[in-house]
Amino acid sequence: MLSINTQLNTAPKAKPQDESKLGFGSIFTDHMFVCDYTEGKGWHDARIVPYGPFQLDPSSAVLHYSQTIFEGMKCYRRKDGELQLFRPKDNFARMNRSAQRMGMPQLDTETFLEGLLRLLRLEKDWVPHTPGTSLYIRPTLIATDAKLGVHASHKYLFYIILSPVGAYYPGGLAPNDIYVEDEYVRAVRGGIGETKAGANYAASLLAGMHAEKKGFVQVLWLDGVEQRYIEEVGSMNILFVYGNKVVTPKLSGSILPGITRDSVLKLAKHLGYEVAEERMDIHEVLEDIQSGKLTESFGSGTAAVISPVKTFSYKDKVYQVGNGGIGPVAQQLYDTLTGIQYGTVEDTLGWITSV
């Protein structure tokens, strides 16, 4: 493991007073973890430093060719004040898979996990107390070669920033209206859809803007070839409930393998539901919503947690899921998952790391 130097911030900021107004991702703590990579030398100069802007050459590869990946995880405050993380090693493992696909170096996971824990201990007072709030963790890797030739970079910068957050969607757990995108696609098989690359999110922005203008919170992406099979929402994976069965689109190579998705599937099985990963045809799903066979739908993600869907709109027709409210399965999974994350439900699956 690399040694980690710490430089304290001599001008700490005031912490947010009203935790009901945190929103998502606009407030940052006083410090960040940073580490450099140089080809031939490997990772070096691991450090915790005051949060602040980087100096980047305008020709930096990340700014031109989007060679960047990230992760999202959260630090939760338990009732007894102790702090804990949820499956952090799985996030780093996924980041390594993203790095591999994006031609970036493998992480020094041991140093970065230790750096994260030290950063969290330093910033412990930034972890909010109100139920439903947490400290969002954003590990990021960017390519920093100052060169315009299209080539994988030889230099990289890894960093972790922290942001106290409330609910990702302004309505919290209130069910959302989702637009089924039938014009644009997010990703194709063989591409980078299954990585957490910034470029995937860039590809989604225009569709998101159009959907927002029409009054929708998010878009549901269909496969990039036939625009027929359900993929994901972009900020979360999507799941459907048929009575006692919880089903989600099978990982296709262009769907993000969500850690919350995996956790929800495992918890659902544990709670006695039948669980399936299948190729899901949008037409069949909409028919099942209409006939009442499909009783609930919800998204899953670190930021979004579990987010029920009220309606899907496809080609100008609106399909309301169940009675449009929070379904019992979504509620039970939300309560169990957040119970484990906040330490009120026993962690029998070994998902918790204490800070």
Residue carrying the six token digits 């039948």: 274
Selected from 29, 111, 235, 297, the binder of ligand COI by CB under 6 A is 235
Pick the closest to residue 316 from 281, 291, 286 (CA basis). Answer: 286
Q: At what angle do helices 88-101 and 259-270 cross, to 10 degrees?
A: 130
Give the three-state DSSP class for 41. coil
DSSP label at 230?
B
- Cβ-based nearer residue to ligand COI, 191 or 299: 299
Q: Is 105 in the site for ligand COI (CB under 6 A)?
A: no
Closest residue to ligand COI: CB criterion: 72
Contacts of 7 (CB under 8 A, 6+ apart): 47, 48, 49, 50
Stretch in the footprint of ligand COI (CB under 6 A) among 185-193, 220-228, 269-277, 301-309: 301-309
DSSP 90-151: HHHHHHHHHHHHTT-PPP-HHHHHHHHHHHHHHTGGGS--STT-EEEEEEEEEE--B--SSS
Rounded to the nearest whole angstrom, what is the least distance from the CB of residue 39 to ligand COI in the complex? 28
- Cβ-based nearer residue to ligand COI, 153 or 200: 200
Q: Is 301 in the site for ligand COI (CB under 6 A)?
A: yes
- Cβ-based nearer residue to ligand COI, 294 or 306: 306
Rounded to the nearest whole angstrom, what is the least distance from the CB of residue 303 to ligand COI in the complex? 3
Stretch in the footprint of ligand COI (CB under 6 A) among 109-117, 244-252, 297-305, 309-317: 297-305
Rounded to the nearest whole angstrom, what is the least distance from the CB of residue 108 to ligand COI in the complex? 22
Stretch in the footprint of ligand COI (CB under 6 A) among 206-214, 276-284, 302-310, 332-340: 302-310
Stretch in the footprint of ligand COI (CB under 6 A) among 15-23, 58-66, 170-178, 298-306: 298-306
Q: Is 338 in the site for ligand COI (CB under 6 A)?
A: no
Rounded to the nearest whole angstrom, what is the least distance from the CB of residue 2 to ligand COI in the complex? 26
Contacts of 85 (CB under 8 A, 6+ apart): 73, 74, 75, 76, 116, 120, 137, 352, 353, 354, 355
Rounded to the nearest whole angstrom, what is the least distance from the CB of residue 36 to ligand COI in the complex? 24
Q: Over the Cα atoms of the chain, what is R_g?
A: 21
- Cβ-based nearer residue to ligand COI, 184 or 242: 184
**How wide is the angle at C-alpha 341 spanned by C-alphas 336 and 346, nearest 5°?**
60
Q: How far is CA 187 from CA 10, 69, 92, 183, in A?
A: 44, 15, 22, 13
Residue carrying the six token digits 């009442």: 292
Per-residue binder mask for ligand COI (CB under 6 A), 32-71, x = binder: ----------------------------------------
Q: Is residue 227 a contact partner of residue 203, using CB atoms and an 8 Å limit?
A: no
Rounded to the nearest whole angstrom, what is the least distance from the CB of residue 269 to ligand COI in the complex? 22
Rounded to the nearest whole angstrom, what is the least distance from the CB of residue 42 to ligand COI in the complex? 27
- Cβ-based nearer residue to ligand COI, 72 or 322: 72
Rounded to the nearest whole angstrom, what is the least distance from the CB of residue 150 to ligand COI in the complex? 26
Selected from 35, 62, 72, 219, the binder of ligand COI by CB under 6 A is 72
Give, rounded to a whole angstrom, the gap between the first and last alpha carbons of the chain.
18
Q: Which two tokens stand for residue 151?
A: 């080539």
Rounded to the nearest whole angstrom, what is the least distance from the CB of residue 3 to ligand COI in the complex? 29
Query: Applying CB under 6 A, which residues contact ligand COI?
Result: 72, 235, 301-304
